[in-house]
Amino acid sequence: MINLILFGPPGSGKGTQAAGLVVKYDLLHISTGDLFRYEIGNNTPLGQKAKSYMDKGELVPDEVTVGMLRNKVEANPNVKGYILDGFPRTIPQSEALDALMSDMGQSISKLIMLDVPDEELVQRLLNRGKTSGRSDDMDETIIRNRINVYTENTTPVFDYYAKQGKSAKVWGIGSLDTIFERLCLEVDFVKG
């Protein structure tokens, strides 16, 4: 199995590139945002628990998020692997993910980070904001804060997997096809 973490700051192109990787390698794309929407929308016990925290403006505990991830993985036993988008974001989440994978007799194959300069990210998000309707894509101050939060909070996750020899950076500038080819080289390396 190929179990990938696709990593990168807001505007790096994770969603766009994940879609291509899913098709090429027959992987299941797992986005934490989608997990939350599914569990809350279907009023599952985990969804209710997550909503109770969110309604108070609190962070959803890692064990709830990992429980949702476990449900998704167990509901799709016949896939060739997973591509995780938006998780893990912290070292405790990385440790919980590794424990979950270990429980299933699997492991994370590789974390691939799309490396894009901050100024490029700002321009991409401002451009996306013109059509996305997302208010957080229209304000440069908010965009820069999102990038800073990403850098401070999630960079340790890259280092965590680097210590296991599983982290790689892919230059996220160029045509969509060129970036996709770079990502595929990393995935193909994992496949052997």
**Rounded distance, CA 62 to CA 52, Å?**
14
Per-residue tokens: 139 = 């304000």
Closest CA to 92 of 61, 68, 116: 61
Three-state DSSP class for 69?
Answer: helix
Residue 117 buriedness (CB in 10 A; 0-12 / 13-18 / 19+): exposed
Chain mean position to CA 136: 18
DSSP letter assigned to residue 192: -
Indicate which residues carry an active-site annotation.
14, 89, 128, 134, 146
**Rounded distance, CA 50 to CA 53, Å?**
5
